[in-house]
Amino acid sequence: MNALLDGLNPEQRAAVTTTDGPLLVIAGAGSGKTRVIVHRIAYLLDQGLARPEQILAVTFTNKAALEMKTRVHQLLPPSRRYGELLVATFHSFCVRVLRRHLDRFGGSYTRDFTIYDTDDQGRLIKACLKELQIDEKQFPPRMIQYAISRAKNQGETPETLAPASDPKRDAILKTFRLYEMRLAAANALDFDDLLLMTVRLLRQFPDVADAYQNRFRYILIDEYQDTNPPQFNLVRLLTQRHQNLCVVGDPDQSIYRFRAADIRNILEFERHYPRAKTIVLAQNYRSTKVILQAANAVIRHNRARREKQLTTQNPVGEPIRGLIAPTAEAEADLVVEALLQWQRQRSHLPEAETRAAILYRTNAQSRLFEEACRRRGVPYVLVGGFSFYQRAEIKDALAYLRLLLNPHDDAAFERIINVPARGIGKATLEIITARAARDGLSRWTAMEQVLAEGALNPRAATALAGFAGLIRDLQARLEGSPLSTLVSAVVNRSGYLDMLAQEGTLEAESRRQNLEELVTAAAEADERGASLREFLDQAALVSDTDDLVDNARVTLMTIHSAKGLEFPLVFVVGLEEGLFPHARVVDDGEELEEERRLFYVAITRARHQLYLTQAQRRRVYGEERITDPSRFLEEVPEQIVQFEAVPSSSGGVTQSPLSYGAPYGAPASPSAAKPAVELPRSQPAASTAEGFRLGDRVEHATYGAGQVVRVADGKLDIAFPGKGIKRFVAAAAPLTKLPRR
């Protein structure tokens, strides 16, 4: 037996040695897909089936590409040199091709083209809007930029798009046309063009296509479920001669639809390649049996998938812990407390075995967990975004607040004088800056003098006076207004929320949510009796996270950012209707399935221990709202979710709800009715109220079956699947106790 095949399970070995023709490898979470790709490349080289330059392996990150190439070299004898082995991302591969052939298009295109990044694109789009005399306030550049990028990711050009049917679409189409003309004139390509122009090159110039089709005898594509139309077309063009194509991916982990990823590319692979063979990797090497039972039960509710059942030879493992907190703030505190307890119990283990991740649906959720970690002195790393108080929209809002307290704060003045855009141009700012420098004044005082002297044209003077009036009006609210009211007034009166609403992009929605979270932070400061200055000081201190990066014990990130990672301990937080699944997708079947895939990805990041947490009440834009448990929680078999009281750090028993979870409802399908693994049953907390105990199952005439999730002060909190948490006075509760399971 070839040594390269040692240690591979039968399915992995088949995926490595099935070298002729198209091959689809459905690789479940934690099933060793990278190992298969690396061993397959090494096997092709070792068996002499291909030379290094005849193999192309494509993945989605430069880090993954480097790791694959390094591991291939480690598998093979050092005497062999494989410098020509090409392991690349789609975009880096396209750059290589275009650097050699872009001049074939003629005109201003040369091989020395410039690649425009996001900022370059934004500036060019602004210039196009100005040239076309399109109002930026009505059609924000970011909205236009997002629309153009999305069209390109779907393989569209200005010529293939349908005619404009409304003013917004007309503005997008006109800008798109001019934008493309200006790119060509500048010999520039944006990031999306790298794919589109490579596809166009191979289609338009058969000799170029022939050269690459002849060169690459074996092509391997990682994360195939995340490919978009241009990437799909590129793969089709490259494999027209030698169809030794191996694609590896998992439909159940397709979570990038918002980037135009098309799950049909992997679901319909056999239709595109009729000779294809399919191998399923379902043996998981990462997680315990309990975690996999939850993952299998959840994803079974999706229709757009390839049937598979993850299995493992790992131990049964600890039950999943369900945690229901009374508030979002308590959720963060209890998560960090549970994290510390878990890590203390494993202090004898290597540090890598005590790492944890807190996974959330939206970036705005990070703030509470950042603050909870800081309060307890827990070092953390924030992945997939800036620290909450370092995000641009938060810094903008805080700059307004700083200017209200101190109008002579020049840094704050310069940051927000034209944010959002209010018609204060560069020439006006130059006049103010020159006056300030000449007379040694603050920008604010210089502005007042310039306005008083009538030194500006009427349009500029009106815009500047409007800004000054806005700040004075907000300053008048300083006395007597709660902080949350003041912050809300800033983000509304400034026009910031209107600006984001007009953009209409996913990024704008995320930024809006962050501003809502800032209002919530201000409401919490109100409860502490904090002043505006104290609030700003706290925000300034929280911004300094450099000391938290080294030796981090917990990683905070969105679930999208967690793709491909794994942790011994994982908290999936904020499992509430409207948050996860997100409110904007609940009426869209396809989007809802993507949200479920996102939950599946979150579950399968956990190796040893998984927490699923929910807050009964959560502040949204400063207003406290009662939440309903996420429908996804009902899809986790209740028999594998444990609910128990645990000791607090002070040594007592925390009654509620530092609970390790609760059954969230009856199994969603008959197949989930009986657990695949037997778990020890936890003992309920000692506290009772009128005969009811924590964890008791009860029946209510209106709400149906539920479970006691809190016993305190003679009251009961009952979790009713799909109906949320209901509170009853124990002595008068219209409840019938059900037998314990």
Question: Annotated binding site for ATP: which residue ranges?
Answer: 27-34
Q: Which of 611, 609, 662 is nearest to 288 (CA)?
A: 609
Query: Sign (positive/negative) of CA torsion 714, 688, 612, 649?
Result: positive
Pairing of strands 606-620, 623-626: antiparallel
Could you tell me the maximum CA-CA distance found in the chain, to the nearest angstrom? 90
Rounded CA gap, 631 and 129, in Å? 44
Ramachandran angles phi, psi of 657, nearest 5°: -115, 65
**Residue burial 241-255, b: 16+ Cβ < 10 Å; e: rest:** ebebbbbbbbbbbbb
Q: Cβ contacts of residue 206 below 8 Å, gap of 6+?
A: none
Q: How many CB atoms lie within 10 A of CB 599?
A: 28
Tokens 């397959």 found at: 40
Give the amino acid at 691. G
**Identified catalytic residue from 13, 33, 142, 391:** 33
Residue with structure tokens 């002499």? 48
**In this structure, what token pair is assigned to residue 118?**
């996001």
Q: Which residues pair with 718 in a beta bridge?
A: 708, 726
Query: Which residue is catalytic, options 190, 192, 222, 696?
Result: 222
Please, what is the Cα angle at 586 between 582 and 592, to 5 degrees? 85
Q: Which stretches does DSSP call E strand in 145-293? A: 188-190, 218-221, 245-249, 277-281
What does the DSSP assignment read for 163-187? Answer: PP-SHHHHHHHHHHHHHHHHHHHTT
C-alpha of 695 from chain center: 34
The region, left, alpha or beta by phi > 0 then psi within -120 to 50, assigned to residue 621 is left
693, 685 contact by CB (below 8 A): yes
Residue 243 is among the residues annotated as catalytic for this protein: no
Q: In sequence order, what are the residues at sequence separation of 6 or more whose Cβ sits closer than 8 angstroms to the Cβ of residue 140?
A: 499, 502, 503
| Catalytic residue check, 111 | no
Bind-site residues: 27-34
Q: Tokens in use for 63?
A: 């880090």
Closest CA to 276 of 252, 296, 320, 246: 246
Whether residue 53 lies in the annotated active site: no
d(CA 18, CA 448): 77
Q: Could you tell me how many helices (H) and strands (E) the chain has, helices first?
A: 26, 25
What CA–CA distance (Å, rounded) separates 69 from 278? 25
**Percent helix, strand, coil in the chain (nearest 5)?**
50, 20, 35
Q: Which two tokens stand for residue 697?
A: 């199952």
Q: Out of 54, 231, 253, 642, pick the active-site residue.
A: 253
Alpha carbon distances (Å) from 593 to 561, 580, 582, 586:
19, 12, 12, 9
For 638, the 3-state DSSP assignment is helix
Residue 588: active-site member = no
Per the CB < 8 A criterion, the answer to whether 268 and 297 are in contact is no
Which two three-digit tokens encode residue 676?
């695949």
Is residue 348 within 8 Å of residue 342, measured between CB atoms?
no
Per the annotation, the verdict on 222 as an active-site residue is: yes
Amino acid at 458: P
Annotation marks residue 223 as catalytic: yes
| Sheet of strand 277-281, all strands in order from the earlier edge strand to the far edge | 86-89, 55-59, 218-221, 245-249, 23-27, 277-281
> Which amino acid belongs to residue 725?
I
Catalytically annotated residues? 33-34, 222-223, 253, 605
